[in-house]
Structure 1
């Protein structure tokens, strides 16, 4: 962490685990509705390398899906990949309560409740990817393998264009 980056549960978890990351702060606009696209544009990045964190209800289990901003989560595919029948996006209030983060700032790292995490396989094609750092206007650049390690996540083909 650097002096200019915020301290969030995500950065605390990464620092404790000794996992390297690069913080990226940008100006969040209150009018933004697509937080991932906002991050990519503000940081001058390709949307394929910036990943959004979605909390999904698969049958009776909440699952964290990390997919590129450039794509969409395939709900049928994630349900099948985690052994469920049906997946829907979790209600924003439930996602916030279970993760401890606000929508638009939900990080896959350092969540209040440990949830199964699935990262789209496209992440492995980059040396680093960008995920929310736990606040709107704050992303973390991290190696995909380190993200999988800290979240005990798995990689699966869960995104579509």
Structure 2
């Protein structure tokens, strides 16, 4: 597994601290984020999943705890839109340059407006995808917000 991904390179260029953690990715897991949390021995609320959605046709990035579901109504409101829906996986892969299951909020082909579920800010550290399946980045929530140029908001159902 390569430790140099667009995500790790983006954080390194910004001089921001992170730790790499790898685990055995299970492509057949019913919920990839929960499988990652279990493999890392971390509570699911600390292991965040990165989702790509559309708000009024515009792509956005959503980062939420792996054990929570997103409220599309809240996502739309957060980005000043009327309607939100998940982007089809092939479109998300083309847009971000990452495979689904390995999408990172950092180093995407095109920087997307990003929101991080505000409850993640209460954690001392969180995990986000490092840009490939089975690779996680352990970072502070503040670094996540800074590096992704994200806003924090309540977007879970």
Does TM, scored on the shorter chain, surpass 0.5?
Answer: yes
1:66 maps to which of 63, 66, 75: 63
Equivalent position SS for 2:85: strand
CA contact (8 A) 1:50 1:68 kept: yes
TM-score, structure 2 normalization: 0.96
What is the match of residue 84 of structure 2?
Answer: 87
TM-score, structure 1 normalization: 0.94
Give the unaligned 5+ runs of structure 1: none
What is the match of residue 49 of structure 1?
Answer: 46
CA contact (8 A) 1:133 1:140 kept: yes
Matched residues in 2 for 1:146 and 1:9: separation? Answer: 16
What is the CA distance between 1:35 and its match in structure 2?
A: 1.3
What is the match of residue 126 of structure 1?
Answer: 123
Equivalent position SS for 1:103: coil
1:78 pairs with 2:75: yes
What is the match of residue 27 of structure 1?
Answer: 24
Give the unaligned 5+ runs of structure 2: none
Matched residues in 2 for 1:8 and 1:51: separation? Answer: 18
1:158 pairs with 2:147: no
RMSD of Structure 2 on Structure 1 (CA): 1.2
Equivalent position SS for 2:59: strand
Matched residues in 2 for 1:67 and 1:55: separation? Answer: 11
**Bigger strand share:** 1
Q: Deviations over 1:27-57 (max 9, x none)?
A: 1123224210111010001001111000011
Equivalent position SS for 2:81: coil
Equivalent position SS for 1:124: helix
Equivalent position SS for 1:105: coil
CA contact (8 A) 1:35 1:136 kept: no
